[in-house]
Amino acid sequence: MSATGIGAPVRRKEDFRFITGQGQYTDDVTRPGETRAVFVRSPHAHAKIKSIDVAAAKAMPGVIDVLTGAQLATDKIGNLICGWMIHSKDGTPMKMSAHPALAATKVNCVGDAVAVVIAESVALGKDAAEAVVVDYEVLPAVVDPAKAQASGAPQIHADIADNTIYQWHLGEKKDVDAAFAAAKHVTKLDIINNRLVPNAMEPRAALADYDAGTDNLTLWNTSQNPHVARLVISAFVGMAPEHKLRVIAPDVGGGFGSKIFIYPEEVVCLWASRKVKRPVKWTSDRSEAFLTDAHGRDHVTHAELALDANGKILALRAKTIANLGAYMSTFSSSVPTYLYATLLSGQYNIPSIYCEVDAVYTNTAPVDAYRGAGRPEATFVVERLVEVAAREMQIDPADLRRRNFITAFPHQTPVIMAYDGGDYNASLKKAMDMADVKGFPKRKRDAARNGKLRGLGYSTYIEACGIAPSQAVGSLGAGVGLWESAEVRVNPTGSVEVLTGSHAHGQGHETTFAQLVSERLGIPIENVSIVHGDTDKVQFGMGTYGSRSGAVGMSAIVKALDKIEIKAKKVAAFMMEAAEGDIEFKDGKFTVAGTDKSAAFGDVALNAYIAHKFTGAELEPGLKETSFYDPTNFTFPAGCHICEIEIDTETGKTEIINWTAVDDFGTIINPMIVEGQVHGGIAQGVGQALMEGAYYDAAGQLVTGSMMDYSMPRAHDFPSFHVGMTETKSPSNPLGMKGCGEAGAIASPAAVINAITDAIGTEAIAMPATANAVWTALQKLQAPKAA
């Protein structure tokens, strides 16, 4: 391993600009003559718009224009769409409502935009927005997914009965029912997977610039996938032909899924820029972000596990209602279906599984992928069921897991996925050693002496990353392919630019991708630049989400580098007057086998461009290659997280005492970055388990609409984490990588709740297990004794 190659903890190339305040986030970009967009948003969760009067606002100082949904419709700006088709059990397609970027006739959630003020400054725009008079006829609202389908529930979209988007299922019900009938033990759980607000620290922003001279539109926005944004805004919204629209996602301050989607605000900025013929910028307030960023999770589930007398799992069944909010966001339909039910086998050999999912509309913000997307929900169901079953059957929870682990690969689960490799016993064992599980009973006794309750919880999770191949996801309803592209440009001086369709918003691709190139071409890492996030530079790409950039994005780079090597060898053969087949390439040097002739990589690059040693008929000049890589399968990272907690019985407060994570991510390019991803994921999962929750009141007002009300995890909510690795390589891509971005968030909620329920001795606790919730549960337990 070289100091900067694969496996080295190279310090990040991107850090210098960030630690010196020179990052370029969307709001940092300015254009001459820039105006600011301020949205007028509905204060009601559900209402008819009777009229909108913009006259007073238009007359305010600094106001350039005030635009409404009626004008949007006149200009034939299309609706936002959901790009993944799901069919119900009865074969009917999902029911997608219209989603205009500005509501014209009806609002369906608080924060729905009804008009936009274009002004010389944000302050003047805000003044004018207050002068826009909207006459609403308020309608009753429904916010609880479990109540959305009830007869008499408010009807959100006139053409969609019972607020039901689809009623989908996966698996063989007959087999599952038979297994349950024969089971010795059945564990049943009712689970609410709490609604979360992603809260990337950089709020969403968009800057649109229309160039009347060329009729070109440029959009800078906070996107995880600028090419997909361009495609949707062009092909579906109809804003401009794809070649007349450039999308640039510069530095992006975190995404976690929330910046995958195409949102109304960027559409409106583009449209407004063309109308007012000046650049238009919008930057979200945090309060706006709470109301309008796509939220995550929000499942209501009943789940059951059937076991035989020895604790062998026979079957699993689950019925889930998934809240998709007021409109279907870009990939919302896939999250509670193919990203959820397909993972219900966990790390276990479960002969039959059946899952039903109803997706519903409510008068809340749209819900879509948030770190893990469906897989945290699945893991929570499986890992809670297994843990509770072990307790009920009085089998050690680690032991019950071992009895059911899949140990032979490939393994076809009953829910589509074919696991290609892994060693679940290895990660469990290593985690148990690192967490000193043996010493736990003593620590529990010691804690009890101090009046504290100690608990230990496991989560042996699996996830599916790098969702692929395109043909397979197409057959499941995806509207796009899920390959990735890479272009490797070797310059005449031997430095290299890699243009990638992946997008980094904290993951460190500028470093890890460069490590790969440095190792492969034997050139210093400083001589490699990674270019991403601009549709004018990178031809096409699918962006970054689902922990796909390593397994898919880097594989595309490998394929392009293969082609570079082949071409460079041809050049080297001409230079050294040798047969192409005799050229060897190692450590940045081309040699002729059996001779002492050699040429450095830089010399070969130069010769590829000056083309003095070969004719155009013999070889094309230049050294630039492209690859589009489509994987053969998903990858399956897996591991074991163990959480040890202590509860103060007086206050109900849970303190995390020790966190152990052992993950199998396959090949690791940069262990420092991978560990960082694990830390961040754990923090988000612990946040979900202990403190975070988005709440709407019955009228549809978001009660947790700011960082004063929505509990964001802070430094003092955590200990330092103990992170370890095991490694089995993924057979599905050339580097053997599996993906690490979401594992922490997927594994951790179940580990926390398993630990808390272990400590307090009741399963009746929901997420977030706040101090109040735990204290209340403890009081309930004591109540019968007091009576």
Partner 1 sequence: MAAVSMTVNGKAVTGDVEPRTLLVQFLRENLRLTGTHVGCDTSQCGACIIHLDGIAAKACTTLALQCEGSSITTIEGLAEPGGALHPMQEAFREHHGLQCGYCTPGMIMSALDIVRRNGNDLDEHLIRDQLDGNICRCTGYHNIVKAIESGAKNMAAK
Least CB distance from residue 675 to partner 1, whole Å?
8
Q: What is the identity of the amino acid at 33?
A: G
In the complex, what is the shortest distance from the CB of residue 328 to partner 1, in angstroms, rounded to a whole number?
A: 26
Q: Does 11 bind partner 1 (CB under 8 A)?
A: yes
282 sits near partner 1 (criterion: CB under 8 A): no
Distance CA 538, CA 248 (A): 10
Q: Where are the beta strands (DSSP E) in 587-736?
A: 589-592, 598-600, 624-629, 638-648, 654-664, 722-726
Residue 227 · residue 725 · CB < 8 Å: no
Residue selected from 274, 278, 505, 509 as contacting partner 1 according to rule CB under 8 A: 505
Among 407, 706, 762, 772, binds partner 1 (CB under 8 A): 706
> On the CB side of 197, how many CA atoms lie within 13 Å of its CA?
30
Confirm or reject binding of residue 62 to ligand FES (CB under 6 A): no
Nearer to partner 1, 553 or 705 (CB): 705
Indicate whether 532 belongs to the interface with partner 1 (CB under 8 A): no
Rounded to a whole number of angstroms, the minimum distance from the CB of residue 201 to partner 1 is 4
Question: Going edge to edge, which strands form the sheet with 589-592?
Answer: 583-586, 589-592, 598-600
Closest C-alpha to 283, from 208, 224, 219, 203: 203
Torsion sign across C-alpha atoms 706, 711, 713, 716: positive
- Geometric angle at alpha carbon 204, from 203 and 208, rounded to 5°: 140
- Shortest distance in whole angstroms from residue 58 CB to ligand FES: 31
Which neighbouring-strand residues pair with 320? 301, 357
Find the helix packing angle between 771-786 and 743-760, rounded to 10°.
20
Residue 397 in the binding site for ligand FES (CB under 6 A):
no
Instruction: Tell me whether residue 427 or residue 507 sits nearer to ligand FES (CB atom).
Output: 507
Considering beta carbons, is residue 469 or 508 the nearer one to ligand FES? Answer: 508
Amino acid at 79: N
The smaller minimum CB distance to partner 1, of residues 479 and 705, is found at 705
Give which of ligand FES, partner 1, none residue 714 binds (C-beta under 5 to 8 Å, depending on kind).
partner 1
Query: Between 491 and 510, how does the x/- string for binding to ligand FES read (CB under 6 A)?
Result: ---------------x----
Among ligand FES, partner 1, none, partner that 695 touches (CB below 5 to 8 angstroms by kind): none
| x/- letters, 723..762, toward partner 1 (CB under 8 A) | ---------------------x------------------
| Selected binder of partner 1 within 85, 146, 707, 765 (CB under 8 A) | 707
Nearer to ligand FES, 154 or 253 (CB): 253
Closest CA to 202 of 365, 26, 330: 26
The answer to the question of residue 421 lying near partner 1 (CB under 8 A) is: no
Closest distance to partner 1 from the beta carbon of 23 (Å): 5
Q: What residue 28 binds from partner 1, ligand FES, none (CB within 5 to 8 A, per partner kind)?
A: partner 1
Distance (Å) of CA 312 to CA 386, 392, 393:
11, 14, 11
Q: How far is the CB of 254 from ligand FES (least distance, A)?
A: 5
Task: Determine, following the binding rule CB under 8 A, whether residue 287 of this chain makes contact with partner 1.
Answer: yes
296 binds partner 1, rule: CB under 8 A: no
The residues in 681-700 that bind partner 1, with binding defined as CB under 8 A, are: 681-684
Q: Which does 92 bind (CB under 5 to 8 A by kind): ligand FES, partner 1, none?
A: none
The verdict on 513 binding partner 1 (CB under 8 A) reads no
Which among partner 1, ligand FES, none contacts residue 676 (Cβ within 5 to 8 A by kind)?
Answer: partner 1
Q: How far is the CA of 188 from the CAs of 141, 304, 385, 561, in angstroms? A: 31, 4, 7, 52
| Of residues 16 and 399, the one with the C-beta less far from partner 1 | 16
Q: Are 696 and 143 in contact (CB under 8 A)?
A: yes
Q: Write down the residue that tokens 């006149």 correspond to.
A: 74
> 34 vs 630, which CB is nearer to partner 1?
34
- Terminal Cα-to-Cα distance of the chain (whole angstroms): 68
Helix, strand and coil in the chain, % to nearest 5: 30, 25, 45
Per partner kind, with CB cut-offs from 5 to 8 A, the member of partner 1, ligand FES, none near residue 469 is none
- CA torsion sign, 74 to 76 to 77 to 79? positive
Determine if 455 is a binding residue for partner 1 (CB under 8 A): no
Task: Output b/e per residue, 13-30; b: 16+ Cβ within 10 A.
Answer: bbeeeeeeeebebbbebe
What are phi and psi for residue 285, nearest 5 degrees? -70, 160
Minimum distance of partner 1 from residue 533's CB (angstroms)? 13
Q: Which residues pair with 531 in a beta bridge?
A: 499
Minimal distance, residue 380 CB to ligand FES, in Å = 25
Smallest separation (angstroms) from partner 1 to the CB of 220: 13
Give the span between the Cα atoms of 487 and 648, in whole angstroms: 56
715 binds partner 1 (CB under 8 A): yes
| Interface with partner 1, residue 16, by CB under 8 A | yes
Q: Is 252 among the residues that bind partner 1 (CB under 8 A)?
A: yes
- Distance in angstroms (rounded) separating the CA atoms of residues 587 and 571: 17
Residue 503 touches partner 1, criterion: CB under 8 A: no
Query: How much is the CA Rg of the chain, to the nearest whole Å?
Result: 28
* Binding pattern for the stretch 199-238 against ligand FES, x by CB under 6 A and - elsewhere: --x-------------------------------------
Between 522 and 676, whose beta carbon lies closer to ligand FES? 676
User: Residue 192 — φ and ψ, nearest 5°?
Assistant: -110, 120
- Closest among 101, 83, 57 to 208, alpha carbons compared: 101
Q: Minimum CB separation from ligand FES for residue 633, in Å?
A: 31
Question: Of the candidates 5, 254, 524, 676, which one interacts with ligand FES according to CB under 6 A?
Answer: 254
Shorter beta-carbon distance to partner 1: residue 10 or 755: 10
CA 297 to CA 376: how far, in whole Å?
Answer: 8
Q: Using CB distances below 5 to 8 A depending on partner kind, what does residue 199 bind out of partner 1, ligand FES, none?
A: partner 1
Residue 679 binds to partner 1 (criterion: CB under 8 A): yes
Answer yes or no whether residue 713 interacts with ligand FES by CB under 6 A.
Answer: no
Residue with smaller CB distance to partner 1, 23 or 524:
23
Buried b (16+ CB within 10 A) or exposed e, 437-449: beebeebbeebee
Q: Is residue 3 near ligand FES by the rule CB under 6 A? A: no
Q: DSSP string spanning 529-587?
A: EEE-SBTTTS-----S-TT-IIIIIIHHHHHHHHHHHHHHHHHHHHHTT--GGGEEEET
The entry of ligand FES, partner 1, none that residue 11 binds, CB within 5 to 8 Å by partner kind: partner 1
CB of 311 closer than 8 Å to CB of 398 = no
Of residues 78, 171, 250, 253, which one binds partner 1 by CB under 8 A?
253
DSSP secondary-structure letter at 749?
H
**Is the CB of 485 or the CB of 547 nearer to partner 1?**
547
What would the two tokens of residue 768 be? 């977030």
Q: Is 656 in the site for partner 1 (CB under 8 A)?
A: no
Strand ranges, E, within 149-229 = 164-171, 185-193, 205-211, 216-221
Closest to partner 1 by CB, 252 vs 318, is 252
Q: Return residues touching partner 1 (CB under 8 A).
A: 11-12, 14-25, 27-28, 30, 123, 199-203, 251-254, 256, 285-287, 505-508, 672-673, 675-677, 679-684, 706-708, 712, 714-716, 718, 720-721, 744
Q: Return residues touching ligand FES (CB under 6 A).
A: 201, 253-254, 506
